[in-house]
Chains A and B, each alone.
Chain A
Amino acid sequence: MVNDLIIAGSISSPTVRLDASRGVMELTGESYPQNAFDFFAPIIEWARQFLREGSTPLCLELRLSYLNTSSTKCMIDLLDLLENAHKSGRSARVAWFCDKENDRAREAAEEFREDVTLPFEIVLEGPGQ
């Protein structure tokens, strides 16, 4: 079984909580780390292992108000991974929480959703919730 993975957030990188027993991946904050590919590699690897090993449904919970270009690319890769799992019958879904006053963040979430068929919910919430 995959171990839980927790990465403390910083000003330029989100707080990451990957909970294997609940099957929840939480990313909260802004994402513009020095090297987004290095930052996302263990997260993507975790998801790959989780989806390979068990049968627990996987939920990706995102509260990301800003992603730089390479983080955006990594997020698309992560979504691709979940999408492929979904297509091969594995239960995987996305909940993207957006500040309701940040139209651009919502539009970005819609853009991410456009290319996938897995359940993808965009939830508008008040700032700081």
Chain B
Amino acid sequence: MSFRRDSQDPDPFLERTREVLADPAYTGNPLLEQYRELADRYAHVIRTFMKTVHISDGYQLRLKELNAALDEAVRTDYLTGLMNRRAFFDRVRPELSRSRRHERSLCILMGDIDRFKAVNDQYGHDVGDMVLRETARTFASSLRSEDLKVRWGGEEFLALLPETDANGAAAAAEKLRSVIEQSAIDVAGSSIRVTISIGIAEERGDDPEAAIRAADQALLEAKRTGRNRVVVAAP
């Protein structure tokens, strides 16, 4: 609420005082003239106070909004818009406890674009960045909304798939692999195609690092055995 110059006095006592002062019988009384002046100043102080508080609230709201935007920015990978590692580690523990509580399995999927260095070498880093952005978009849209999708490193993507066993994760990974293989990325007059190798591990304990290592090992296995493949880590 705001107090305009013409608005009612915010204090009922002040209102009554003004009524009394308005009585013509008091006109010209020097003491009451002083009193009237005092009432005016008091009203002004209250108005200024309320105004200051109100404007200050607006600025505080702005700071809160900037804080929220900053918080969002430090959790997001700037290039791809996926989560970054920091955001992932904030979310992974609650997800693990939730899946344990419901006795559901959970999988880690680790993907890496095959021979990405060759794209950078042939087309330059700007084109490389576009390929990363497009692959990240495909990565994000092929997975479910409840999956956590992370840019893990340079050309490496990680997803946490809640309530998913190894079979479900392998199916999701195969779909992802196939969509990426079939998508052409049109950039700088060229049509670039990339493939992705994927490793999957089912999380069984409460150690996300162990599952990530297992998925990483499976990913290396996929690379070693020819790339553009999905490998599920042995339980």
Contacts and interface: CB of A to CB of B under 8 A. Distances in A.
B5 interface: yes
Nearest to A105: B62
Interface stretch (A17-25, A41-49, A62-70): A62-70
Contacts of A67: 55, 59
A3 interface: no
A104 interface: yes
Interface in A91-127: 102, 104-105, 107-108, 111-112, 114-115, 117
A69 B52 contact: yes
A104 B65 contact: yes
Counting contact residues on chain A (CB < 8 A from B), the size range is 10 to 19
B48 interface: yes
Interface string B1-40: 0111100000000000000000000000000000000000
A66 to B, nearest CB: 6
B58 A111 contact: yes
A76 B48 contact: yes
B2 A102 contact: no
Contact of A115 (B47, B58, B62): B47
Given A69-B52, A73-B48, A73-B52, A108 B58 contact: yes
B51 interface: yes
Contacts of B53: 69
Given A68-B56, A69-B56, A114 B4 contact: yes
A76 B52 contact: yes
B61 interface: yes
B52 A115 contact: no
Contacts of A68: 56, 59
B115 interface: no
Contacts of A114: 2, 4
Chain B interface SS verdict (over half): helix
A72 interface: yes
Nearest to B2: A114
A105 B26 CA distance: 46
A111 B48 contact: no
Contacts of A117: 5
B217 to A, nearest CB: 47
Contacts of A76: 48, 51-52
A108 B4 contact: no
B91 interface: no
B104 interface: no
A119 B105 CA distance: 68
A102 B51 CA distance: 20
A112 B62 contact: no
A107 B4 contact: no
A114 B5 CA distance: 9
19 contacts: A66-B63, A68-B56, A69-B52, A69-B53, A69-B56, A72-B52, A72-B59, A73-B48, A76-B52, A102-B62, A104-B61, A105-B62, A108-B58, A108-B59, A111-B55, A111-B58, A114-B2, A115-B47, A117-B5
The 6 closest A-B pairs by CB, nearest first: A104-B62, A69-B56, A73-B52, A111-B55, A72-B55, A72-B52
Given A66-B63, A68-B59, A72-B59, 15 more contacts: A66-B59, A67-B59, A69-B56, A72-B52, A73-B52, A102-B62, A104-B59, A104-B62, A107-B58, A108-B58, A112-B55, A114-B2, A114-B4, A115-B4, A115-B5
